[in-house]
Structure 1
Amino acid sequence: MHKLYVAMVGLPARGKSTLAKRIRDGLMAEGIQAKLFNNGDMRRALMGAESTSPDFYNPSNAAGREAREMICRRNMDLARGWLADGGEVAILDATNVSRGRRRMIESTLTDHPVLFVECVNEDQLLLKACIRRKTTLPEYAAYSEEEALQSFMKRISYYEAIYEPLEEEKFWLCVDSTANRILAERPCEGSPFYPAIREIVVSAWVHCLYLVRHGQTEFNVRGRIGGDPPLTAKGRAQAQALAQHMRHKEIDWVFTSTRLRSHETATPLLAERPGAHIMAFKEFNEIWAGDCEGMLYSEIRERMPQVTAGRNANKFSYAYPNGESYALLGERVQRGLRRALFLAGDTPLVIVGHQAINRVLLSLFLRQRSEDVPYIYIPQNQYYHISLTPRRKVFERVPYQDDSR
């Protein structure tokens, strides 16, 4: 069992290709020879525009079914030849949603074990975003956005009609691809690569994350909590300086909160990047101060001394009256981060957050003691650059404007 086939499984837009690449890269980082064999790439090269039509995927379309099986067999032949020439792990990236297809793979590839890895995604927000993103692929260049969406949804419906989850196969993993979590497994015991693959699929990789706090607002100047204020002139200058600083950096995704100050900070960044994706997540909204929303800190000290005393005693766990604490932020902020990393995949992303939100986000990477989280420094003229993969570990705070003037 010193060589292995990994066959991906799952409906379209569930994160299979991203996870397949991550498995390849993670294994290669360990010195293991791994290679991808993608059915979609071969399909586009051999079939061209003909295979973009949803009818190509209709189970009752005999010609389409034969073409898809031919592509699958050809990729299996390439994978088998590559392993014979010295490769160690061959990754077959395709939907493979029917048991019939998977039986054919197991009965054909008998020289080495086959591990099936199924990707599941039940997050409807992410699923809709992924499907929309698929419609921007070059193969849909001749379609309008709506036509591409309808075509891809029809393709998915055909796959859904024949989809059968993993169960009977000899070796398999079922993975929640949005939460990096193994849902069920039939272990490939004895394979030297299986432990490494298990760790890869549960690890959250961050190839290139820029974590930014919004620019200065009037509330910041006056010491007011929360609210939805716009940027000040200085805040707008900070947003412009950030965009200027990052003008040569590749950025594919920008995530904001639903608050105005977050959007205004992101606007200059997006101005020169018409192809970048932007999404607003309520998970990145600033800590909710409840009854204290919009109040001055000085007013809270005078009118609600018990709030000040409670936060001074335990700032991490104390919740504002009818509001949130840092401890309560954790679940929603983690959910927002998982969504952002899933959508961005291996591409660079920016999160334009808020002081408390960014503190919690940083604590997820720093493994900070909970009682110290409310004191992490989050300046408005600097950002954090984070890259955490098996090959690269970077964590740095980068200034982009001198605010001392």
Structure 2
Amino acid sequence: MTEQGMVGMVESVQCKVRDSTGMYASRAPGIYGSPTNGVYGSPGKHMANRHNASEDDKPKRLSTNSNGSVSKHKRSVSAGGGSIGEEEEGEDYSYVESQKHLLEPTHYNPLPNRVPPPIAALAGNIGERHVLVMLGLPCRGKMFTSRRLQRYLKFFHGADCRRFDVCDYTSDEGSESSSFTDLFDDLYKFLHKEDWSAQTNIRLYEDGDMDDPRKKNVDSGRVAILFASDSEAAFQETWSGSSKERRRLICEQLSSMRDVRVKVIFVELICTDPELIKSNILRKVHASVPTELDDSTRGAIVAEWEKKIIGYRRKYVTMQDDGSEDDLSYIKLIDYGEKVVTNSIHGYLPMRIVQFLSNIHTKSHSIYLTRHGQSEYNVLKKLGGNPPLTEYGREYSRRLGKFAKEVCCKNAQGQEVPARLWTSSLQRTIETAQYVPHPVICEGTWHQMSNRVYRNLDEIFAGEYEGMTYDQIEKRHGTEATLRKMDKIGYRYPRGESYFDLIARLDPLVHELESYTEPILVVSHQATLRVIYSYFMDIDRELAPKQDISLHTVFKITYDGFLEQPVLEKFYLGPEVAPTHQTETK
């Protein structure tokens, strides 16, 4: 066939997009096609709460604590007029909704790939099933560590991750066998559950063979995390892993699971710093009884906990480094990443787990997030670009400089403390931070708010649509606008980025954010901050594109190892500006 004939054939082909009624609408492919790699499902219907900023120019605390969730539903994949199966409750397909039409049979591809390969944001689905067992003495932050790890694996890698509290299975009658069996059964149900997306191609190839032995070798990415909310109460339980014998029994029982291949990793938290242990005890008590304690009460509580810890240490057996447990996979975190020891850790996901755990800590941490001041493209409602600030934006930069000095760089007692400043590489964020002062403090050892510029913090790249408005995109590229509305998190701008691409490039930066103890002011962009905000506020990533990150507002997020939920405070600094973005903004 000649090149001209081939072009004519391509131009005559029309892809199909399923609309909300189940019918099909024609979609002619563009010159470059539609690179819309991303991940599964429709974003949830929840919308972030919006607030009306006051006209008062003074900083105002607008609200506290915000959270979000997304419900998951059963979905089926249709093949022609029939159905090849239905997912179990809580399952999602591992591709973006805007890719769905690419997986349907056509006259030129009657046998399509039913599930495309995963992208970076779904790397958590690659690999074996894992069971992580948290070990350590009381007041080491095992609950916090399990919670942060679950959050990280689900948000940045799409892993199906679930936590199991051993104390929930402790028998009142003291029968360890029944509690062991109950937890084993729940683990089996979770780990054995099939990943429908990963097995779709096998099912079609085998013409519906439900018992194909290769099913157990298909990627799953399921991660179960075992921890004890009360170390003392769970000590005698096998699943606590508090002795060499119990750890051996855990490995033996999990390896005996029928049709499930499980990798067991023990994670031990070790604290050698007495001041760090004391700080953990006080924050643990304050989280459960948030009242001010006098010095004598505080001292008595610390002494009581130290006595409990000594009693637990006498019977607890740490992971052995004498060679007797070298055949086990384990991670030792000493003083929260100051020293990390790993043994027999292999594979993508386990290595990411080690890297993440090396950065987290239980100390209280505050992160200040703010968009740049109003830019010229904000006024014109244009996407992307590298425009300067407007006069309103420059006024915000002056107010932000004052706020950083008086709030970000002060502790609760009003004392100046070391703080950090991050911006993107685009001029509107650098201009916004230009009035933040940079004195040298701590006897000349700390350059306050020294600006670090990160390209990872740049705005989502709109590719061919950079510098365009949404009205222009709808008029010139209507089908692309439809695809984005259908799947905002997974849709990728032609030759640009999707939200999942943004999540992938923010992954290493979040590791660094987690590692610091100093307050950090991050000056970035709407889409970028939506992702960071959603991660730290424990909001499902499908809802990240819907979060409202208002102009001229600072979001303060505070969390530590013993708070169940992060605390959110909003400060509107002004000046008041008219809304500059449509609903379908970045």
TM-score with structure 2 length normalisation? 0.39
Judging changes above 3 Å, is the alpha-carbon distance between structure 1 residues 88 and 403 closer, same or farther for their aligned structure 2 residues? same
Which of these residues, 235, 243, 247, is aligned with residue 393 of structure 2? 235
Which of these residues, 373, 386, 392, is aligned with residue 215 of structure 1? 373
Aligned counterpart, 2:154: none
Query: Following the alignment from structure 1 to structure 2, what is the Cα–Cα distance between the partners of residues 28 and 263?
Result: 39
Aligned counterpart, 2:503: 330
Aligned counterpart, 2:481: 308
Deviation at 1:257, TM superposition (A): 1.1
How many residue pairs get matched? 265
Q: Secondary structure at the match of 1:212?
A: strand
User: Which structure is richer in relative contact order (CA contacts within 8 A, separation 6 or more)?
Assistant: 2
Aligned counterpart, 1:154: none
Judging changes above 3 Å, is the alpha-carbon distance between structure 1 residues 3 and 318 closer, same or farther for their aligned structure 2 residues? closer
Aligned counterpart, 2:554: 383
Query: Following the alignment from structure 1 to structure 2, what is the Cα–Cα distance between the partners of residues 335 and 380?
Result: 26
Which of these residues, 26, 30, 40, is aligned with residue 280 of structure 2? 26
| Counterpart code for 1:25 | S
- Root mean square deviation of aligned Cα: 4.5
| Counterpart code for 2:406 | H
Deviation at 1:367, TM superposition (A): 2.9
| Counterpart code for 2:367 | L
Which of these residues, 416, 421, 442, is aligned with residue 254 of structure 1? 421
Q: Which runs of 5 or more structure 1 residues have no equivalent in the other structure?
A: 7-15, 33-81, 91-109, 118-165, 187-198
Aligned counterpart, 2:450: 277
Deviation at 1:222, TM superposition (A): 0.5
Residue 352 (structure 1) aligned with residue 352 (structure 2): no
| Counterpart code for 2:397 | A
Output aligned runs, 1:6-405, within 5 Å: 25-30=279-284, 168=323, 173-175=331-333, 184=343, 207-249=365-407, 250=409, 252-271=419-438, 274-342=447-515, 345-391=516-562, 393-403=566-576
Judging changes above 3 Å, is the alpha-carbon distance between structure 1 residues 374 and 26 closer, same or farther for their aligned structure 2 residues? same
Query: Following the alignment from structure 1 to structure 2, what is the Cα–Cα distance between the partners of residues 211 and 205?
Result: 19
Deviation at 1:361, TM superposition (A): 0.8
2:421–2:520: 8 Å Cα contact kept in structure 1?
A: yes
1:230–1:261: 8 Å Cα contact kept in structure 2?
A: yes
Richer in helix (by share): 1
Deviation at 1:354, TM superposition (A): 0.4
Deviation at 1:207, TM superposition (A): 0.8
Deviation at 1:212, TM superposition (A): 0.9
Judging changes above 3 Å, is the alpha-carbon distance between structure 1 residues 346 and 201 closer, same or farther for their aligned structure 2 residues? closer
Query: Following the alignment from structure 1 to structure 2, what is the Cα–Cα distance between the partners of residues 381 and 217?
Result: 11
Residues 89-109 of structure 1: CA deviation (Å, up to 9, x unaligned): 69xxxxxxxxxxxxxxxxxxx
Q: Secondary structure at the match of 1:267?
A: coil
| Counterpart code for 1:359 | R
TM-score with structure 1 length normalisation? 0.54
Query: Following the alignment from structure 2 to structure 1, what is the Cα–Cα distance between the partners of residues 538 and 386?
Result: 30
Deviation at 1:208, TM superposition (A): 0.9
Does 20-29 or 263-272 show the bigger shift?
20-29
Deviation at 1:396, TM superposition (A): 1.9
Query: Following the alignment from structure 1 to structure 2, what is the Cα–Cα distance between the partners of residues 375 and 247?
Result: 31
Q: Which runs of 5 or more structure 2 residues have no equivalent in the other structure?
A: 1-135, 141-269, 287-301, 346-356, 410-417, 441-446, 579-586
Query: Following the alignment from structure 1 to structure 2, what is the Cα–Cα distance between the partners of residues 299 and 22?
Result: 56
Residues 368-389 of structure 1: CA deviation (Å, up to 9, x unaligned): 2444321211111111100011
Judging changes above 3 Å, is the alpha-carbon distance between structure 1 residues 88 and 271 closer, same or farther for their aligned structure 2 residues? same
Deviation at 1:289, TM superposition (A): 0.8
Deviation at 1:266, TM superposition (A): 1.4
1:226–1:287: 8 Å Cα contact kept in structure 2?
A: yes
Judging changes above 3 Å, is the alpha-carbon distance between structure 1 residues 350 and 305 closer, same or farther for their aligned structure 2 residues? same
Residues 331-385 of structure 1: CA deviation (Å, up to 9, x unaligned): 222321221332xx21111111100001111111233244432121111111110
Residues 35-72 of structure 1: CA deviation (Å, up to 9, x unaligned): xxxxxxxxxxxxxxxxxxxxxxxxxxxxxxxxxxxxxx
Judging changes above 3 Å, is the alpha-carbon distance between structure 1 residues 339 and 3 closer, same or farther for their aligned structure 2 residues? closer
Judging changes above 3 Å, is the alpha-carbon distance between structure 1 residues 277 and 306 closer, same or farther for their aligned structure 2 residues? same
Residues 186-222 of structure 1: CA deviation (Å, up to 9, x unaligned): 9xxxxxxxxxxxx998667661110111111111110
Query: Following the alignment from structure 1 to structure 2, what is the Cα–Cα distance between the partners of residues 275 and 201?
Result: 22
Over the matched positions of the two proteins, sequence identity in percent amounts to: 24
